[in-house]
Amino acid sequence: MNLMLKYNMAMEVLCNDIDTLIKEYVNKNNYNPVNHIEHRIKTLKSAYDKLEKKGYELTDDNLFTQIRDMVGYRIICNFLSEVEDVVKLIESSKQLRIISRKDYITHPKDSGYLSYHLIVEVPIYLSTGIEYITAEIQIRTLAMNFWAALDHKIQYKFPGEEIPTEVADELYDISVKARDLDTRMVELNEIMNKYKD
């Protein structure tokens, strides 16, 4: 079966499963912790570029085993405190199997990148049986997402070369400010909740 078809099937299962989990959460808590969701399937060109960078042959087998984020799913939360709630929500899934996690919120990358990453196995149901496809789920706040989009744009300005120090330093400083904004927004939310109570 065509590999891209399998990735599309995995994306469909992932979207449906997480959508159901969020609806159950909203029904139970009368509140939605998710601001919005983004998802994509990496292009073959982008995947092959990544394989080449890692030093692997450009084969379907290497694509399947070495590129774990062909299916990419991003959940953007309103508040920092909600990231953990969404992680727990995904952990409660009866379909998805978490195979690794990286907490770049507690331990940011040197660049200042902040996000929570999960690599999951998504079941697809074929006539020959169940097959598992890996996918990456990123969970972050609006402020983190804004910073990551800016970082991505800057990376494209300097393809294959190191970002100038003054740009990298400024980007890191903005990351610190974004984290501070997230903390203050949580505090503001707590104040607002007092008035609701």
Query: Residue ranges per domain, the chain?
Result: 3-196
pLDDT at 33 (0 to 100) = 95
**Taking CA 24 as the corner, what is the angle to CA 18 and CA 26, rounded to the nearest 5 degrees?**
100
Backbone angles phi, psi at 72, to 5 degrees: -120, 130
Return the CATH fold of 3-196: Beta Polymerase; domain 2 (3.30.460)
pLDDT at 197 (0 to 100) = 60
Global model pTM greater than 0.95: no
Backbone angles phi, psi at 103, to 5 degrees: -100, 90
Distance from C-alpha of 105 to C-alpha of 83, rounded to nearest angstrom: 10
Q: Which residues of the chain have pLDDT under 70?
A: 1, 196-197
pLDDT at 17 (0 to 100) = 97
